[in-house]
Amino acid sequence: MAKLYFNYSTMNAGKSTTLLQASYNYRERGMRTLLLTAAFDDRAGRGTISSRIGLEAEADTYDNDSDLFTHVSHAHEAAHIDAVFVDEAQFLTEKQVWQLAHVADKLRIPVLCYGIRTDFQGKLFPGSAALLALADALREIRTICWCGSKATMVVRLNDHGEVVEDGDQIEIGGNDRYMSLCRKHWHSRTLDRPKHS
């Protein structure tokens, strides 16, 4: 039975690296994968999944209006697909998560989603909330706070490196805009070890 998987973490935990490695493993064995990423995340170029360590691959894109079940069905009819990989899964709509569940249930194709669980205000992204509710398997990809504890939260930074408290839920950025912290240091907004004189 094919399953819907949600691999989640904070920023900079290696989600895209893990996705690209897993897709490579399928392809190395002669299997075909379909990669999907959010259309508006163009940091590495539209339709490119890129990791911080330099790995990248071309991907189909989706936006809020995309019907992912239909997209995967048509691609599968054209050439057999063994697995679907979704990057930036936090940007999926609840409807699209259901569509991906149908890909697993009706087309019997495993769907592996990778995304961030919560935003900079500690609130669930809609796609992540739906995946936490519907996925057959959940896996946390871990990273650490500057203190060495497990990072579970993320703060957004302005151009001066200061924590931003308000704003739109979605703002594309990398290390220059976001920092992963443990819950304690997220709550206190402590971004680094205190400097001792």
Is 97 part of a structural domain of the chain?
yes
Is 178 part of a structural domain of the chain?
no
What's the chain's average pLDDT? 86
Is 177 part of a structural domain of the chain?
no
Question: CATH number of the domain that 133 lies in?
Answer: 3.40.50.300
Query: In 39-71, which positions are buried (b, 16+ CB within 10 angstroms) versus exposed (e)?
Result: bebeeeeebbbbbeeeeebebbbbeeebebbeb
pLDDT tens digits for range 93-139: 999 999 999 999 999 999 999 999 888 888 898 999 999 999 999 99
pLDDT tier, 14 (very low <50, low <70, confident <90, very high otherwise)? confident
Q: Which residue has the higher pLDDT, 192 or 90?
A: 90
Is 158 part of a structural domain of the chain?
no
Q: Which residues are catalytic?
A: 88
pLDDT tier, 191 (very low <50, low <70, confident <90, very high otherwise)? confident
Is 53 part of a structural domain of the chain?
yes
Is 147 part of a structural domain of the chain?
no
pTM above 0.85, yes or no: no
Angle in degrees, 0-180, between the axes of helices 94-106 and 126-134, rounded to the nearest 10: 30
Is 190 part of a structural domain of the chain?
no
pLDDT tier, 141 (very low <50, low <70, confident <90, very high otherwise)? confident
Is 170 part of a structural domain of the chain?
no
Range of the domain at 81: 4-142
Question: How many separate domains does the chain show?
Answer: 1
pLDDT of residue 90: 92
Q: Is the pLDDT of residue 173 over 60?
A: no
